[in-house]
């Protein structure tokens, strides 16, 4: 019989879920499985296969600290290399056999009487003492509900669900959205299409990308001398933290804007087009973008930049809010993801049957971005109020994993039935975050971004330094939690750990 009850279940086999499985395994938690709805691992780096897909954080920093990779072939790794890195890491640390593919979690509810999470999945029920949600915020594509889109006669897809079977050669294409994905794929498809109509609601700050091929001799040195790779990671961390200081002191970022404006002037000679592409807010207020080819691609005679949102689709015409019209054969959305309304929040329920969505009411909130009042033994990875505009998601993730692993191992060793964050601890943490945000570029930069939820609250951003995040978020403080001892103890409850 297939095992269905575990000490720990991890949902998602992307970077977050794999990292959790590795760290928990290293801490001695053997009674663990990873549930993955797809047929292979990789998460974001499995789903996003659009042309030009690559990391916008230096490769040495965009990786687990416990699994450095000396084999990156570029300073900013591409999608295929990152996916291969995750696959190799899972194999190297013995996680691959623990992954159950094709298992989509449709509902997870806490059973207080049994002190278990009860999961409904596409492959039947599962139960666990502890649930770790590694689904992440860059998961479910966001497609605007445009009038007439359903009757568009041509091809429609989102960048995260790229249709490689559709030949763009000689086609008239509308690209809606100018975020991180569009900045990467637009330069790749411009040479192929007959005409490209870019609908830009807001101009983006785009800085030059210091990307380059990593020579073989450099990779050999990094492989033979791990200290060199550690030093490279520290240098890149320091550089990103220097930039991050400006996010908390926006006047400094206005100096960095000069670099962005110079980059724009060098690439775009046409003053009219340059005005269209010049942002009217402080750099960093929206996600920071980097590209050496995006601006040049927009100067091609086959590209039209429409500085407007899209209001509707009528037949094969995309209609802008300013009345402009583009007749096209295909529509590609580069409109990002459900960041603050993550699908997982509608599938996870407390003991009374109320979902995370019901609790949050449009404004996600958690203690140190990781645990939520009313949801015992649940740990969210890359949760609310931890996003930064400058550093690697792996930095955030590993801080949370220290917190999570400490909590999980204490629970199993001490045979606690449940661990639930105290309401006052969560309230204090979030009050501190919200009080600090107005001084950051996220709030004072003069833009509208996905950092702000439907209630007008910034539920995404971390307003302090990364060192504070690593220290504060990475710490499991028992006093901030309500601990419920188990009524019955036994070796079967210990998840492979010896009792203390």
pLDDT, tens only, 410-420: 999 999 999 99
pTM for the model: 0.94
Confidence category of residue 340, pLDDT binned at 50, 70, 90 = confident
Q: Is the pLDDT reported for residue 244 higher than 80?
A: yes
What digits encode the pLDDT tens for the residues 7-33? 999 999 999 999 999 999 999 999 999
Main-chain dihedrals φ then ψ at residue 243, nearest 5 degrees: -65, -40
What pLDDT score does 486 carry?
86
User: 125-159: per-residue pLDDT in tens?
Assistant: 999 999 999 998 777 888 999 999 999 999 999 99
pLDDT for 297 equals: 98
Give the Cβ contact number of residue 413 at 10 Å: 16
* CA quadruple 257, 261, 262, 266: dihedral sign: positive
Euclidean distance between the first and final Cα of the chain, in Å?
31
Reading the block at residue 188, the tokens are 């790749």
Q: How confident is the model at residue 499 (pLDDT cuts 50, 70, 90)?
A: very low
Rounded Cα–Cα distance for residues 210 and 217 (Å)? 19
SS3 201: coil
Q: Using 50, 70 and 90 to split pLDDT, how confident is the model at 489?
A: very low
pLDDT in tens, 455-488: 999 999 999 999 999 999 999 999 999 999 987 4
What per-residue confidence (pLDDT) applies to 139?
78
DSSP state letter for 19:
H
In whole angstroms, give the CA distance from residue 212 to residue 223: 19
Nearest partner of 179 among 146, 211, 201, judged by Cα: 201
Range 284-294 average pLDDT? 95
What's the pLDDT tens digit per position in 29-86? Answer: 999 999 999 999 999 999 999 999 999 999 999 999 999 999 999 999 999 999 999 9
Residue 497: which pLDDT band, with cuts at 50, 70 and 90? low
Least confident of 21-35, 284-298, 395-409, 479-493: 479-493
The pLDDT value given to residue 167: 97
HEC states along 376-399? CCEEECCCCCCECCCCCHHHHHHH
Q: Which residues pair with 237 in a beta bridge?
A: none
Q: Which residues contact 485 (CB under 8 A, 6 or more apart)?
A: 414, 415, 416, 417
Does residue 85 contact residue 69 with C-beta atoms inside 8 Å? yes
- Quickly tell me which residue has 């206005």 as its tokens: 254
Residue 492, token pair as written in the block: 């079967």
Contact 136/12 with Cβ under 8 angstroms?
A: yes
Residue given tokens 């949102």 in the structure block: 309
């Amino acid at each position: 019989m297939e095992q269905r009850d575990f000490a720990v279940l991890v949902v998602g086999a992307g970077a977050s879920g794999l990292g959790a499985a590795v760290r928990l395994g290293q801490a001695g938690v053997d009674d663990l499985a990873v549930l993955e709805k797809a047929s292979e691992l990789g998460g974001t780096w499995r789903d996003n296969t659009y042309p030009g897909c690559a990391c916008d954080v230096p490769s040495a920093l965009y990786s687990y600290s416990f699994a450095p990779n000396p084999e990156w072939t570029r300073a900013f790794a591409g999608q295929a290399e990152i996916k291969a890195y995750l696959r190799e890491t899972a194999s190297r640390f013995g996680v691959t056999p623990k992954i159950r593919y094709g298992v989509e979690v449709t509902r997870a509810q806490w059973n207080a009487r049994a002190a278990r999470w009860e999961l409904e999945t596409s492959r039947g029920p599962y139960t666990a003492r502890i649930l770790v949600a590694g689904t992440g915020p860059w998961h479910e594509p966001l497609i605007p509900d445009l009038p007439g889109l359903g009757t568009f006669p041509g091809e429609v897809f989102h960048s995260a669900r790229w249709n490689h079977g559709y030949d763009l050669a000689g086609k008239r294409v509308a690209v809606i959205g100018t975020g991180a994905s569009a900045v990467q794929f637009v330069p790749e498809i411009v040479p192929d299409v007959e005409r490209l109509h870019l609908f830009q609601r807001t101009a983006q700050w785009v800085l030059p990308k210091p990307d380059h091929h990593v020579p073989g001799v450099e990779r050999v040195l990094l492989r033979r001398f791990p200290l060199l790779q550690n030093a490279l990671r520290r240098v890149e961390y320091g550089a990103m933290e220097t930039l991050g200081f400006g996010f908390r002191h926006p006047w400094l970022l206005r100096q960095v804007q000069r670099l962005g404006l110079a980059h724009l002037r060098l690439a775009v000679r046409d003053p009219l087009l340059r005005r269209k592409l010049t942002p009217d807010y402080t750099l960093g207020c929206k996600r920071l973008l980097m590209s050496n080819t995006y601006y040049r691609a927009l100067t091609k005679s086959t590209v039209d930049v429409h500085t407007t949102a899209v209001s509707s689709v009528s037949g094969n015409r995309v209609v802008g809010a300013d009345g402009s019209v583009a007749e096209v054969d295909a529509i590609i959305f580069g409109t990002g993801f459900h960041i603050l309304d993550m699908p997982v929040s509608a599938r996870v329920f407390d003991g009374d049957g109320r979902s995370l969505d019901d609790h949050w009411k449009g404004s996600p909130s958690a203690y140190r971005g990781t645990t939520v009042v009313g949801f015992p033994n649940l740990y969210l990875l890359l949760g609310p109020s931890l996003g930064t505009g400058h550093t690697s998601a792996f930095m955030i993730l590993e801080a949370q994993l220290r917190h999570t692993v400490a909590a999980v191992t204490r629970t199993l060793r001490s045979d606690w039935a449940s661990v639930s964050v105290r309401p006052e601890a969560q309230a204090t943490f979030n009050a501190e975050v919200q009080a600090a945000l107005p001084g950051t570029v996220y709030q004072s930069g003069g833009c509208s971004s996905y950092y702000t939820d439907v209630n007008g609250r910034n539920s995404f951003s971390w307003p302090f330094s990364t060192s504070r995040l690593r220290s504060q978020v990475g710490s499991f403080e028992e006093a901030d939690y309500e601990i419920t001892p188990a009524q019955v103890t036994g070796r079967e409850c210990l998840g492979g750990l010896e009792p203390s």
